[in-house]
Amino acid sequence: MIMGFFDRIKKAFGGKDENAETEKYDAALEKSRDSFGARLNKLFANFRTVDEDFFDDLEETLIGADVGFETAVRITDELRDEVKLRNVHDSNAVARVIVQKLVDLYGESGKDEDNSLHFAEEGPTVFLFVGVNGAGKTTTIGKLANRLHKEGKSVLLAAADTFRAGAIQQLQVWGERDDVPVVAGPEGGDPAAVVYDAVVRAKKENTDVLIVDTAGRLQNKVNLMNELAKIKRVIQRELPDQPAEVLLVVDGTTGQNALSQAKEFNQTTEMTGLVLTKLDGSGKGGIVLAVRNELHVPVKLVGLGEGIDDLADFEPTKFVYGLFKGLIDAPETEEEEK
């Protein structure tokens, strides 16, 4: 039998942090871990018998933990069969089965998933960032530009969010901080014109990476999506194989709203990946499970803190270990070992 994702995580970590980034995941997901644990503890405080009332409460608990409706229903249905098969009654054992189901479902949904950022083999790489206002899009761009610049890549930023007051200036501040140039136009100007100028400059100067900031809100959703499509066409006229990545930035603290945004954008922008910000700011880290299981779009970057170096590549095993650490490391009960 192939080792499950849950068992691979246990084997990989053995209850011990391996490095600084693992510790970052651990710290950033503390609130989510505590929130999930508190919800399970509350459920089991009234634990008498594993009956239909228990499964109804479990489904509500999982939905409340932001793992997504589809995921909650599937886990609850599978747990019914598992409990009957294994005759599990101990609350700790049931809790571990719940987590194992979540983790293995998460691993199954991510099979063959590519969480890495893609770069062009020749010529400029273009990363197009999209998302609603307030999700942390411009800040994420600034942090990524800083990291790429430190790695020795030449970076150019395009301030194509010409509609939000202060957006251009915010990106320019990041450009100064990162020591990377910013192509900008007038506030309220044509975003596609800014992107065209940036692409032409990137080609002329043989820039390694061009990162494009975009508006998160126009007069209505149709206008926003049309503008994003126009920007993409401008890029592809000059660089047919670009953008290499269309990354949707969503605020991890918004829970199910983040999933709704991802579904909406994915219908119109052909996203290649997600960036989840502010995972350290709330107990809603379970949204990553929902995104992966229901949307099947890879998470590529995560915000694990407010520092400039706290934008991390998404690593599934470290994320899951950080989210369920206590239960993954907990010793098995005699009932489980039978």
Binding residues for GTP: 131-138, 213-217, 277-280
Terminal Cα distance for the chain, rounded: 18
Nearest-angstrom CA–CA distance, 250 and 147 = 20
Q: In this structure, how many other beta carbons lie within 10 angstroms of the beta carbon of residue 243?
A: 22
Q: Which residues pair with 274 in a beta bridge?
A: 248, 299
Annotated binding site: 131-138, 213-217, 277-280
Instruction: Judge contact between 238 and 199, C-beta under 8 A.
Output: yes
3-class secondary structure per residue, the chain: CCCCHHHHHHHHHCCCCCCHHHHHHHHHCHHHHHHHHHHHHHHHHCCCCCCHHHHHHHHHHHHHCCCCHHHHHHHHHHHHHHHHHHCCCCHHHHHHHHHHHHHHHHHHHCCCCCCCCCCCCCCCEEEEEECCCCCCHHHHHHHHHHHHHHCCCCEEEEEECCCCCCHHHHHHHHHHHHCCCEECCCCCCCHHHHHHHHHHHHHHCCCCEEEEEECCCCCCHHHHHHHHHHHHHHHHHHCCCCCCEEEEEEEHHHCHHHHHHHHHHHHHHCCCEEEEECHHHCCCCCHHHHHHHHHCCCEEEEECCCCCCCEEECCHHHHHHHHHHHHHHCCCCHHHHC
